[in-house]
Amino acid sequence: MSALAHAIETRHVIRFRYLSDPPRAWRWVEPHVLFESPHGKLLLDGVQVAGYSSNASAGFPVWRQFEVSMITEVEALAERFEVSIDLRLDAERYARVVAAAGT
């Protein structure tokens, strides 16, 4: 099982680097759903709670979507999270779920 899938299923906050971010920038995310897009990309939907954001004015927490191929240096933290009440696993984009919190 991938580190992302395990963190989702055990509801652990993760931190990671994203390839398009500045060097040494970290993001802290509550990972909720790992899924495959209709175009075959592996994606992560989660609630970003801290760290670097290309849209700093959005504030935290904020739902974000990440391409898994752009994620590096994933670390599951001791901190746990509750599944967001905004999670809608019946959404069309979740037709091919790999792992999901709340299941």
Q: CB 31: neighbour CB atoms within 10 A?
A: 28
Report whether pLDDT(66) > 80: yes
Report whether pLDDT(57) > 80: no
Would you state the pLDDT for residue 103? 67
Higher-confidence position of 77 and 55: 77
| Residue 96: band (very low, low, confident or very high) from pLDDT cuts 50, 70, 90 | very high
| Residue 59: band (very low, low, confident or very high) from pLDDT cuts 50, 70, 90 | confident
CA–CA gap between residue 97 and residue 94 (Å, rounded)? 6
Average pLDDT for 51-59: 83
Question: What are the backbone dihedrals phi and psi of residue 69, each rounded to the nearest 5 degrees, phi first?
Answer: -65, -15
DSSP symbol at 2:
-
**49 to 1, 89, 95: CA distances (angstroms):** 24, 21, 26
Q: CB 58: neighbour CB atoms within 10 A?
A: 12
84 in Cβ contact with 30 (< 8 Å): yes
Omega before residue 22 within 30° of 0, cis: no
CA–CA gap between residue 46 and residue 34 (Å, rounded)? 9
